[in-house]
Each structure stands twice: as C-alpha cells, then as structure tokens.
Chain A
Amino acid sequence: MERRLLMGNEAIALGAVRAGVACVTGYPGTPSTEILETVARQKDGRIYVEWSVNEKSALEVAAGAACAGARAMVTMKQVGLNVAADPLMSLNYVGVRGALVVVVADDPGPISSQTEQDTRHFGLFAKLAVFDPSTPEEAYLMVADAFACSEAQGRPVLLRPTTRVCHSYASVTLLDKLPRRAPAGFHKDGGRWVIFPRLSYQNHLKIESELRALRGTFSAYPHNLLTGRGRLGLAAGGVSYLYVREALADIETDCKLLKVSTVPFPEALGLSFLEGLDEVLVAEELDPVIEDALLHLCGRHGLRAAIRGKGTGDMPNAGENTVAGVRLAVRRFLGLPTPEDDGAEAAGEAPTPPVRPPVLCAGCPHRGAFFAVKEAVGRRKAVYSGDIGCYTLGNAPPLDMVDTCLCMGAGLTMAQGLGRVEPDTLHFAFIGDSTFFHTGLPGLVNAVYNGADVILCILDNGTTAMTGHQPHPGIGRTASGAAAPKVDIHALVSALGVSALTRVDAFDLAAAKRAVTEMLDTRGVRVLLFEGPCIAVDRGGTPCAVDGDVCTGCGRCLRQLGCPALAWAPEGRRAARIDPVLCTGCRLCAALCPVSAIGGGGRPC
C-alpha cells in the first residue's frame, strides 16, 4: 500500500479511478477543477475524460455513459450545478443503469465563488443522496461508496466536498483497485429512458420510499459516527467536524459527538445521539442542514434536547468556520473558560500591510482591451456588463470597467435588457473565450434575433485562465492533451449574421482604440474580438524599462493602468519604475506615456 501526499481533489480523482470510473466529464470551476485534471493525467486508456462546454453538457454526457451501464463521474463547482440543474432533476426520475457520481464542490466563505449555496440542500431538493467528506482521505474512500450507492439505487448520487477538503492535502494511503466490470451497454426498454408525467409520478413514489430506506442504511454507514457520552452533544459535518475534534483535544468534559456525512440524515443514529441529551451544539458550514434534521427528529419524537447552532445565533450564518471560532463556540457550550489571546496584535502597534486584492496580471491582454474601450468611449455615457473570469477583475480601479457581473454568460444578455430601458446609453458586454462557449453563445443568438443594440467584446486569451488554464473548444486541444478541431470564434460570430465584427490585437492600443471608435456610432449587434494570449500561457518578451531622465513623473501610466509591474521609484526624483520580474513587455504603458520615457519590451515574433 502506497502513501501519497494528495490534495483533496487528487484524492477524489484517484478514488474514482480506484472505483473503476469509465467516463469523467466536467467544466472547470474553483474549487473543483483539479479533480478532472488529475484523472486526465493518469493516462489510463480505459477512462474517457473531457472538459465539456458547460456543466449541463457535462452532466448529460456523463448521464448517457451511465445509462449505457458505465460508472461515470461529472465534476463542477456549486454554481455549476445551477447550470446542470435541469438534467439532474429529471435524471433522478429516469435513473441510471451503471452509476453516476456528481461531484459538486461548495465554497464556504465564499473564497472564489458568486454564492454560498449549499449542495446538501440541492440534494434534498432533487431527492438525491449526498456524501459529504471531511478530509482528503475520507473523500478518497467515499468516492467508491458513492459509486456503490448510485449503482445500488440506480440513481445519480452527489459527492459534496468543500474548499477545505478540495484544496487541503494529506498523506493518503492508496488502496488496490476495485474489481472493474465492463459496462452492460444501453438497452432499449420501452419507456424506461423517456421521461413522461405518468412515469415521473410512479418514480416519485419509488424515490420517496428509497430515501426513507436510506435514512436507516446511512445510520450504519461508517463515516456517520457517534462517540462519547454525557448530557451535552456536539454534532458536526464536513471540515467543521475536524475543528470540533481540535477543540475537544485538550478537554476532558464528557460529551457526545456525532459526525454526519450523508444526506439523507441517518435517523436511527441521530436518535441514539439525542437519547439522554439536554443540549446540542451543531457545527457546520453554509446551511443548517444537520441542525434542521436534528430539530425535525426532536419534533417528531417529542425529545426535549435544545438544538443550538445557526438558528440560535451560536454559530455564524455565513462565511466559513475557523478553528478558533469553533473552539470558542465549543468551549462556551461546554461551560469552559475561553482563551484570551486571539492572536490580534496590540492596537496601534503593528504597521498596516498594504491592501492586496487580486488584480489582472502584468501583461494581461484584458487590461489592453479594457483600456482601449475606456479611452475610445471617453466621456460618453456607457454601461459595461462583465462576466465570470479573470476579466471580472477589470472592475477594480483604476480601470473600473465592469459595472455588472452576475453569472456565467449573463453580461451580454443583461446588456440587452439594460439597453431596452436606456437606449441612449452605450451598452458594452465583456466575455472571455471559455465563458463565450459556456453560455455566451445563446445570448449572442438572442441579441441578433431580437435586434439588440450592444457592443460585445470577446476577450480571447486562448485559455480558461481563472481556473488554471484548461483547454476549451477554441484551442484545438482536449482535456487529455490530444489534438481537437478548433472552433473558430470569428467564423462562428460571422455565421450568426453579425456584420459589424472586427478582430483586434489586445496589445495594440492605437489600433484597438480605432476599432472601438468605429463601432460607437453604429447601431445593432457589434462584436470586437480582442486577441492576445494569457501571460501565464505565453510569458511574453523582454521587460520594459523607464528612462528616469526622461520620465516627468506625471504618473499617467501608474494611475490609468493599475499594472502590478508599475510603481513609483523608491528613491530620488519622482519617476515611474517597472519591476523587471513582473513585466512581460506588453508595452501598453509605453503606448500611453506622453514623453516616450518607456522603452524596451516587445513580444517575441
């Protein structure tokens, strides 16, 4: 048996490989992305892996594989499940023949997400079983349990890790692969695979009775665990269970501890836990799922235990839990003294470190696109609708070029609605290449069909940058690294009948400004295709340098671009300085310097 240092996402991937997964699909999204990448890296010739165009497509491809009897897995972040909700809700009624594990990574905090939605609630809503691991080791084992459960039920199953499982790591013991069965193949079976109202009614009855049975089965599931004794009880799930264990490590007070790792709630185990308890504190992130299940049990069985947690203000309703926060809550609950040193430095003593929000990288082509549009528009009234990706960071000063951001693909469609109410304003929408393929395309068809008055800026940097450079349909490479047909964005937009379509080099400020200006006084759907590679994929050329004798210290480059490579010279006369470590030589600053003080740079041909 091999012990390996694995990130949670790697553990999930290897757990799926161990369980004999045959088809893995997904769309990148923090904190889920590395699961599919790890499966692809295994180069196991028997596993089909794809980055799908979006989560709905991914789930449907995996559903097809599962209906043909394979063990299939699909990966996404929590908001991705909103996109895939339609097929998932229906698929539960139809069922699968092999197994389908839907891995949905939640993001308490949120650290890299739009919402703090709780996929355990999605499981309750969709009437699906959910497995909720606390650690990478547990996630590694649970994947096989999830496949077995899905196969036994003939229904999809959710595996719901959170960021602190996905992006934590641990020494994991790898086990032998489980026996692999060849997929049984797709069998035409009357109306079995065709969702009709009558079938749905019958299956709804079945699903409810299966869920009732699972409440019992899961009471014996080894990852649902009851320990300890006493009249006080702690219940926890996910990473919060670990925080409770840390809090209890140096405490000798008697208490019961219930670990809950599944939806539906293990009711028999829950009743054993509640027996003889006066009070319970529940530690969990996002929604009070365990807390509500315990309240429900108390109500149904007339138990008197007081259930404390989010509903009573003992635990926070939003954000991620912390070791210190849970320790404080546990000690208070057990009536123990609380530690005084919370690590805060004495007030007024420590210097304040600089505020350091994420920014567009030095040399990012998006900065060129945003700046060109900003300069060309000048003082005219304009609304800039943004989208999901690195370019959301164009919102930050000094660019200040993202006025809206809602969800994948919403920029272009929101711009259309804004235009219906404010027709005298210029309506721009910015969308990245991967997001364009994901859900931007229907929005563009909508704009053309309904005669919207918008300027769409497609920011094509040749990768899915924010999530770590995954390929997409425009790149010519698959998730496995094989050559693939390239979907040509320019030809695609042109084929929709958009005649006002211009291809622009994002690093050529003068030409880009001209192209934008030409679009301003025409009407209808206009598309600017800004091209420039992501600097993380193509590091660029030699760095630029400021000639300190020529620079007048006007600060135009610093104030207008917000490039992290630009700063004031630390000493001497007031002048700009370029950090040669960060600068990629994009020359955007050189293009706007009024006295031509910036030289060097340039990208290799």
Chain B
Amino acid sequence: MLNLIITGVGGQGTVLLSRLIGQAALDKGFDIRGSETIGMAQRGGSVVSHVRIGADIHAPLIPPRGAGLIVAFEPGEAVRALPFLATDGAMVVFDRPVNAVTSTLGGGAYDAAAMLAYLRARVCRLTVVDGARAMAACGGAKAINVALLGVAAAGGLLPFDCAEAEQALRARIPARLLDMNLRALAFGAALAAEGNAR
C-alpha cells in the first residue's frame, strides 16, 4: 500500500499529476482512492491531493504521519504538508518558490531557503529538484508535474516505473502536448538516475 500526498499552489498542475499516478496504478491492477482540492483554493491557494494505492483502503484522505511519499511543487507547501509524512517517508520537492501575495504585502518574499534547509534537516529521503534547470529542460513551468512524476517513478518511489507512467501519459494527455510532457518525464527520470548514482 502506498499513501501519497501531492501539494502545491493552485494552478501548478497538482490535480493532473494525481490523476496520472492514479491511472498508472489502476492500469497495473491496483485499487485507488484519493481526494482533490477543487474550487476557490485553486485560485492561487494551497492545494493538496491525497492518493492511496492498494487493497482495503476505506478513507479518501490520509491521516497525519500516514504518507509514504510527498511530492511538493513548492518549498513552503512542502513544509506545510510535512505533518503528513511518515517518519520513514520520502519527499520530492521542486525548489522554485511561488511568491505569496501576503508576503509581498508584508514587505518581502518569504524565506524559501529556510524552508529547504528545514526539509534537508528533517527528511532523510529527500530529492530536491532544481527549478531553473527543470524549467529550462521542460520548456517552461507547464510540464513540471510530469517531470516530478518522472523523478518519483524512476526513483522507485511509486508502484510503477517510468515506462508505465509513459503509458498513462499517452492515454490522458492530448496529442499536441504529448511531446513536451514526454520530454519532461525523461528529464525527471534522468534526474532520478543522477540521484541514484551519487
């Protein structure tokens, strides 16, 4: 059984990532349950998806300390989701901060470096994805969700591999966007391989 939390800021593509993971797991014969944040919070608020893969799961939500994996699209949201991470859980975090309007009005950007430093101290199985590099490789921010899918699948953090993730992509992503997303998946997989080599 895998409990997985996907977190980010509304508009970053978290919902699509959770559906892709669900689809790939379903294709492999697993039962899936999960829950999304849909509605007002999607306008730039914090959004969290819960994905639960395996048999005999009842609730669509994961309890605190119940997640074996957190995929975070943003350092501050990663820290916010930390209470869900199991003590031996893994985390993949995209390091590019999304500015919060409340911080700007308070006189400055929020301290994303402090968030990352805290994650490094707290989470043993942490993969930090370099945002600038990822966006250069994926042609912008649109396919970041799929790059993170590549990191998690190739890193052995999901119950399916990159080839199976690719099948889910091909089934769900419109043809005109497929190339960009396949590139992002390959970039994520390469990044995971680098991590394994280190």
A residues whose Cβ falls under 8 Å from a Cβ of B:
3-5, 7, 30-31, 111-112, 135, 164, 167-171, 239, 242-243, 245-246, 249, 322-324, 327, 341-345, 349-351, 353-361, 390, 393, 396-398, 466-468, 558-559, 562-564, 566-568, 570, 579, 581
Contacts and interface: CB of A to CB of B under 8 A. Distances in A.
Kindly name the residue among B32, B39, B98, B111 whose own CB sees the greatest number of chain A CB atoms within 10 A: B39
Nearest to B62: A323
A563 B105 CA distance: 10
A112 B83 contact: no
Interface stretch (B41-49, B149-157, B185-193): B41-49
Contacts of A466: 39-40, 43
Given A171-B32, A342-B64, A31 B38 contact: yes
Contact of A356 (B39, B46, B108): B46
A564 B44 contact: yes
Given A350-B82, A361-B11, A341 B46 contact: no
A359 B109 contact: no
A327 B109 CA distance: 39
Kindly name the residue among A169, A323, A344 whose own CB sees the greatest number of chain B CB atoms within 10 A: A169
B80 interface: yes
Q: B interface, how many residues as a size bin?
A: 35 or more
A31 B39 contact: yes
B54 to A, nearest CB: 11
B26 A243 contact: no
Given A164-B60, A171-B33, A361-B43, 20 more contacts: A111-B39, A111-B40, A167-B35, A169-B34, A170-B33, A170-B60, A171-B31, A242-B60, A323-B62, A341-B64, A343-B64, A343-B83, A345-B82, A345-B83, A353-B110, A356-B77, A358-B10, A359-B43, A564-B99, A581-B141
Contacts of A170: 31-34, 60
B43 A243 contact: no
B44 A361 contact: yes
Interface of B: 9-11, 19, 22-23, 26, 30-46, 56, 58-66, 76-77, 79-80, 82-84, 98-105, 107-111, 114-115, 118, 122, 140-141
Given A243-B59, A246-B59, A351-B111, A30 B35 contact: no
Contacts of A135: 33, 60
Nearest to B61: A323
Contacts of B9: 356
A3 B65 contact: no
Contacts of B103: 354, 567
Contacts of B11: 361
